[in-house]
Structure 1
Amino acid sequence: MTIRSKRKEEHLQLAQKFYQKEKMNSFDQVHVIRPALPETEVDLATIKTTMFGKKVAAPFFINAMTGGSAKSYIVNKALGQVARRTNIALALGSASILNKEPEQLDSFLIAREENPDGVLIANINGKTLPEQAQKIITELNADALQVHLNAVQEIAMPEGERNFYWLDNLKDLRQKITVPIIIKEVGFGLDPKTICTLKKAGFKLFDVAGSGGTNFAQIENARNPKDLSYLNDIGLPTVVSALAAAKQQVEFIVSGGVRNPLDVFKGLCLGGKYVGISNQFLQTLLNHDEEYLQKTIVNWQQELAGLLAIYGQHSLSDLSNIPKYYDLELKNIIEQI
């Protein structure tokens, strides 16, 4: 097993080790006001939408997790099956490993083979060259490309990158890539300045990926002989990052610590176009099996439709207009940011 593949396996193990099902996060500090007289009914049609030109059953999806190792082949095979059966999108883990280890392609390609017609999103790091990125997109027949910004993870990683000059390459990617590009953080939140800079550079879709869920500083610190645990708490909360994106008037995905359908609903009410879920679904799969994950996702679809009904909503398009308020601690951060 190569160093890169070993790291992929360790990420899966450590994500499971540090997973906390009931972990508190910024979603708990957001309160959406519900009408006592909703005048609606539960209808699964209210949560259907489109992603990258394809119809999907819900606005939430399986966000980037893994790829590039024997175990990740098994995980991505199961995720591809579940995505197809539930008709939701699937984003793969970083495929940048393929630039140096092309033999790992099968661990990513299996997801497309299991879900040939569904929405599949490829994922690369910010220094992947356009030619390499396009090759990955073509091989996976990907509908979109996530480009992840993970400086904190890299600095906590003992063998991580130490050069974070990414902007010029990002601009080059935008000019040459043939599918939509999503700029994505990895659990530390996109800040207002970065969103503004990338908006001016022509990027249109962002995944805020804030703190509150999987903590890659914590994961990499567990692999590091040095103690960099002081990095664990430097992330921007998901809700704050989402509101920053909304203020910049860009389309954005809400992810980072999504635990249940109510968090999905709140993410949509914050203005998110879609909501991404990674570790919650990963742990469901690892602790049970793909059939259990499939049942969980179907339940989430039904429950999200139920939430729209009790909040008096008939479609996804109006959710950002629902009145809401924030706990004082979170409100204070929002005002300062």
Structure 2
Amino acid sequence: MSIRSTRKEEHLALAQKFYENEKSNSFDQMHLVRPALPETSVNLQAISTKMFGKTVSAPFFINAMTGGSKKSFAINQALGKIAQQTHIALALGSASILVKEADQLDSFIIARQENPNGVLLANVNAKTSVRDAEKIIAELQADALQVHLNVVQEIAMPEGDRDFHWLANLQELRQQITVPIIIKEVGCGLDQATIHRLKKEGITFFDIAGSGGTNFAQIENARNPQPLAYLENIGLPTVIAAVLAANEDVDLIVSGGIRNPLDVFKGLCLGGKYVGISNTFLQVLLQDNGFENLLQLIKEWQKQLAYLMAIYGQNNLTDLPKIKRYFDLPLKAQIDQLL
């Protein structure tokens, strides 16, 4: 197995090792005002929406996890089947490995084979050339392309990149790639200035991927003989990142620390058009009877999101940002300093 494939499997093992199902994060400091007289009824159709021209059953989706190794083949095969059966979107893990190791394509394309008509997002790093990105998009028949920005992870990674001059390549991708491009962080949060800068380049989709869930600095430190522990606490919390991003009037994906349907609902209330979930779903899949358990969990989340729509008196996803919200004082103070 190659160094890249080995790293992919190490990431999976360490994500499982460090996973905390009830880990506290910024969503716990955000609260919504509920009408006691909602005048609504539970309606599963109310959570259906469009995503990149296709209808999906819910505004939450399976966000980028893995690809490029033997174990990730089985994971992506299962995720493809689950996405097909639940009619939600699926984002694959970074396919940049295919630039050097084309023989790993099967571990990605299996998801499209299992879900031929669903929404599928490809994922590459920010230095991937237009030519390589176009090839990956074509091979996976991807509906959109996630481009991840992961400076902190790369610095913590013992074999990581040390050159982060990415803007010129992002400009080329934006100018020549024909599918929508999503700029995505990987657990440290997108800051407003970066969103504003890339918005000027014509990019309109952003996945904030804030801190509060998987910590890739922690994962890479576990692989690093000289760990940089201080990097594990420099991320921008998801709720703060979402509040700031909402000022930019862009198409927003909220991810990072989504643990339950209420977190999904809060992400939508923060202005997220969609909400992405990675490790919470991955850890269910990795357990015994994981396929059936994750399939049922996603179906249950769909029902519970419809419950929350009814509880808060809502019939339309686009109206959720109008729900009154308030924050615990420590979080509010942080937000106020950054606004």
TM-score, length-normalised on structure 2?
Answer: 0.99
Quote the residue 1:296 is aligned against.
297
Distance (whole Å) between structure 1 residues aligned to residue 309 and residue 192 of structure 2: 29
Residue type at the aligned position of 1:301: Q
Quote the residue 2:194 is aligned against.
194
SS in 1 for 2:121: strand
Distance (whole Å) between structure 2 residues aligned to residue 172 and residue 317 of structure 1: 32
Residue type at the aligned position of 1:326: F
Please list the CA deviations of residues 208-244 of structure 1 after superposition, one character each: whole Å capped at 9, or x if unmatched. 0000000000000000000211100000000011111
Quote the residue 2:150 is aligned against.
150
Quote the residue 2:326 is aligned against.
325
Distance (whole Å) between structure 1 residues aligned to residue 174 and residue 227 of structure 2: 37
SS in 2 for 1:61: strand
Distance (whole Å) between structure 2 residues aligned to residue 18 and residue 253 of structure 1: 24
Does residue 105 (structure 1) correspond to residue 73 (structure 2)? The answer is no
SS in 1 for 2:286: helix
Please list the CA deviations of residues 153-184 of structure 1 after superposition, one character each: whole Å capped at 9, or x if unmatched. 00000000000000000000000101000000
Quote the residue 2:138 is aligned against.
138
> Contact between 2:112 and 2:141, CA under 8 Å: does it hold in 1?
yes
Identity of paired residues, percent? 69
SS in 2 for 1:281: helix
In the TM superposition, what is the alpha-carbon distance from 1:201 to its structure 2 partner? Answer: 1.0
In the TM superposition, what is the alpha-carbon distance from 1:50 to its structure 2 partner? Answer: 0.7
SS in 1 for 2:234: coil
Does residue 312 (structure 1) correspond to residue 313 (structure 2)? The answer is yes
Quote the residue 1:220 is aligned against.
220
Distance (whole Å) between structure 2 residues aligned to residue 172 and residue 292 of structure 1: 42
> Contact between 1:40 and 1:314, CA under 8 Å: does it hold in 2?
yes
Residue type at the aligned position of 1:155: I
Quote the residue 1:116 is aligned against.
116
Distance (whole Å) between structure 2 residues aligned to residue 324 and residue 157 of structure 1: 38
> Contact between 2:60 and 2:264, CA under 8 Å: does it hold in 1?
yes
When the two structures are aligned, how many residues end up with a matched partner?
Answer: 337
Residue type at the aligned position of 1:121: L
Distance (whole Å) between structure 2 residues aligned to residue 56 and residue 158 of structure 1: 39
SS in 1 for 2:233: coil
Quote the residue 1:68 is aligned against.
68
> Contact between 1:245 and 1:251, CA under 8 Å: does it hold in 2?
no
Quote the residue 1:235 is aligned against.
235
Distance (whole Å) between structure 1 residues aligned to residue 125 and residue 187 of structure 2: 14
> Contact between 2:208 and 2:242, CA under 8 Å: does it hold in 1?
yes
SS in 1 for 2:272: coil
Does residue 127 (structure 1) correspond to residue 127 (structure 2)? The answer is yes
In the TM superposition, what is the alpha-carbon distance from 1:248 to its structure 2 partner? Answer: 1.0
Quote the residue 2:248 is aligned against.
248
In the TM superposition, what is the alpha-carbon distance from 1:293 to its structure 2 partner? Answer: 0.4
TM-score, length-normalised on structure 1?
Answer: 1.00
Distance (whole Å) between structure 2 residues aligned to residue 68 and residue 227 of structure 1: 25
In the TM superposition, what is the alpha-carbon distance from 1:102 to its structure 2 partner? Answer: 0.3
Distance (whole Å) between structure 1 residues aligned to residue 246 and residue 192 of structure 2: 10
Distance (whole Å) between structure 1 residues aligned to residue 140 and residue 45 of structure 2: 30
Q: Structure 2: 5+ residue runs without aligned partners?
A: none
Please list the CA deviations of residues 221-277 of structure 1 after superposition, one character each: whole Å capped at 9, or x if unmatched. 000000211100000000011111101111110000000000000000000000000
Quote the residue 1:268 is aligned against.
268
4+ long deviations beyond 2 Å: none
> Contact between 2:156 and 2:227, CA under 8 Å: does it hold in 1?
no
Please list the CA deviations of residues 89-122 of structure 1 after superposition, one character each: whole Å capped at 9, or x if unmatched. 0000000000000000000000000000000000
What is the Cα-based RMSD across aligned positions, in Å?
0.5
Does residue 18 (structure 1) correspond to residue 18 (structure 2)? The answer is yes
Distance (whole Å) between structure 1 residues aligned to residue 117 and residue 266 of structure 2: 29
> Contact between 1:15 and 1:279, CA under 8 Å: does it hold in 2?
yes
Residue type at the aligned position of 1:318: D
Quote the residue 1:184 is aligned against.
184
Distance (whole Å) between structure 2 residues aligned to residue 210 and residue 335 of structure 1: 18
